[in-house]
Structure 1
Amino acid sequence: MKTIYLFFILLLVALSGKAEEASSFIEIMKPFDYTRYEGKDSTFVIEANHKSVDKIVIRQGDINTTIDVTSEKDTYCKTVELHPAVNTIFIEAYKDGKLLSSDKRESYFYNDVLPGVDVYDAEQYDKNYFHSEEEEEKCKSCHDMTNNIPPEDEPFDDVSETTCYKCHSGKLNTKSTHAPAANWLCTICHNGKGAEYNIDDEGLTKYLAPDPIAKTCAYCHDTVEGWQASRYGHGPVNDGRCKRCHNPHGSDNEFFLRKHIWDLCTTCHTEKAIPGNHIVSGFVFSRNAGAHPTKDRADPARPGREFVCTSCHNPHGSTGIYLLRMEGSHPFNVCQRCHKK
């Protein structure tokens, strides 16, 4: 009996040793598990020894990102793009084609206008900032962390000279890019200061951007204060949360919007997406199925533009009821933008 008992003890010790050995093939420094992101990029920082590992694979659904481990360094960085809501990403270590170990990180990409996100689900994840003094110490052996940002009045001729570009160049991979981002004037917005909604995070990162961001936006966009003083205001504008609708770095949509205009508006105003449920009915052509169209038509008042919600409504603020683009006090005055008679 003692022999059998001793055998099991030795077996457990051996298995424990193998488990410990497997977990030591790579070490995932960043991100931590259950991290919440407001941007779509997650940067993995992984330590590996080339004597034990020759390849690291980051698996994200059907997308595999491969990192070749060499004798030149022990720390490897790779940025992956997150999709909205939950992301489960697996990190695998290989040697000579053999899988040695596998780990995972679960993250949440949160913006309340994106599909699938839920504020209550997001609250289960913690914000974790990268650019603290402590974290940057780990990066200095490979990266220049001296905050080499171009001065506001004299941008670099070559944007690749800025230290931000080395890791964040992917932020320019959009159809249109916001001017401060295009010129890498990052610290205009990322000034390390918090505001009402993230004041408790001040000091956790050198590059915190205030939330709400409107006062920062007003530095260049002098119309912001006027919008906020409008007789009829829009919630995100009144709260100063420009980033809810706009991506401050860039977007494939016009005006740096996070979605196409109609899709963006109907994310919150879901009832307006129901066919035949918006604007007057009974006074329009039968081909419009009993209601005024809100998309998929040309805009008569703005040649060359698509007819969308903003054809009739000003999303920033208005003197007219319902944020209508109208003159005078009668709501139907907005109709005269297209219907002259």
Structure 2
Amino acid sequence: MKQNSNLLRAGLGIVILFVLPYVVNAAVQIEIFSPPNKVWVTEKRIFLTGTVSGEVKKIEIKGVKVVSPRGKIIPDAGAFGAIIELKKGLNRLKISADGVSIKYEIFYLSPKEQKKGTKPPKGFKHFFVHKDPELISCKECHSFRRGKYNFKRNVPAQANCTTGNCHATQGKAPFVHGPVGAKVCIACHSPHGSFNELELSKTGQDLCFSCHQAKKEEFAKEIVHVPVEEGCIDCHDPHQSNMRFQLKGDGKTISSLCFNCHEKEMFTQKHMHGPVATGDCIACHSPHASDYKALLMAPPEKGQVCFECHQDRKEDFTMKFVHDPAQEDCSQCHDPHSSPYRFQLIKQKEKLCATCHQELTPEIFTAMNEKYPHKPVKNGDCVACHRPHSSNYELLLANDLTTLCFNCHVDLGDYIKESKFKHGPVQTGDCIACHNVHGSQYVSLLVKYFPPKFYIDYKPENYDLCFACHNKDIARNKLTNVLTNFRDGEFNLHYLHVHRKKGRTCIACHDPHASNQAKHIRYEVPFGAWAYPISFKKTPTGGTCIVGCHAPKSYDRLRPVFWKPPTQ
């Protein structure tokens, strides 16, 4: 604002609060309103104003040159003024009226002398005055009724500051401050001078609150914007601007103002928040003060500030199970301004989840780095299975486990739905009983080892997966009448198939998911490039198996077909 220091033509006649009365006797009293006593100024010519009581015909000023009025200084209803010219250094003035006089001291220190290092006398305060003052009547700015001035009441007189060669460009922009538009410059600037730069009648917020009192309550909130604390003119031009509210932007977007202080780079990355992209920072932030951090319009907790706009997404955050970051603060995952990543994520999606879950669930990240990762995990696409905000299913799954898996494994899902007999975990929708959904060191994401081959030598550890649920003695005991119903008399037919050199694995006969044959016996046996059909017919006490790998065979638990019990 230094460029506007010549905004006013001093001599518009407003009364300043810097009044130093000098009383000599009861009959005549002389008071100087401006400038105060013992001040230093940088202008050679200044406007001296005051009042005198009693029937005084003229005022005399000695010690300085009186430029205007020429001749006598005649009081007007007790008020008087004069343009005086100071000499370099200390000026001792004597102001007299009808034998009564007061003494005044003013120090003139030009900018040139300041550069030389000249200092004003101790105790002298810097008083700012307008350059090239003009002598005018007090009636232009002060109420005058019944032959008396009321210096406590000012008339909003129009100034001639924006005419001629002084401030001719002021008031020409699209958006003009009210007092500038009305040419009432004295609303902010004192024409008599001030202890404040630019002859401001007050400084900082106090000046603005002279009119904008309603803002005072707003500025009293807990978090105050730094420019507001320092004074409004960091953001608002006090005279005019190309933007509404006289903002110091480019006239197009509010963000152009914000970028005067805030680094533009953090707001202009590839994926921008809608309000940021349109330069509408105040969609989320209060420009002056707020009760919430970062000057937010609403609390960030539980996404309250986000729901000011994203009401359509509120349901996504209020399901049975809520992701902790979504419950706490959206900015834990999303950059509210801009980001190189879609949805303004603060990191690549796979790295973002790892930020928390690598510590919270280390076993998952161990699985993700195993030999066989689940395809969505390999692609870093956690949201293929999990909802990021909330879900009605545990672990924030996007659906129940069966439906979720069959969204990708469509053919398997159709096959299972069409099958009459289902494996226990499949029946209950518990895919993770057998599969590690993130990754595994075993083929098909199995949670434990299972031999992928058709033939394998019998070892109990080769069947860790199946024996996690099934009794491992089913393949270890040759004779039994309780472990399994797949027996001829007491001869255990599981033992016959599995417990041998070149034993058959479980999936040689059973489909691990489902089948339309009892005991989810598969329709065909994979064998190299071939597939042999299986037909299994169950009876109340046994069954018959017709398969390409051996002749049709039957078994019966009560009347053994081929097993001969040992003789006593």
Tell me the TM-score normalised to structure 2 length.
0.28
The TM-score with structure 1 as length reference comes to: 0.44
Does 1 or 2 have the higher relative contact order (CA < 8 Å, sep 6+)? 1
State which structure, 1 or 2, has the greater radius of gyration over its C-alpha atoms.
2
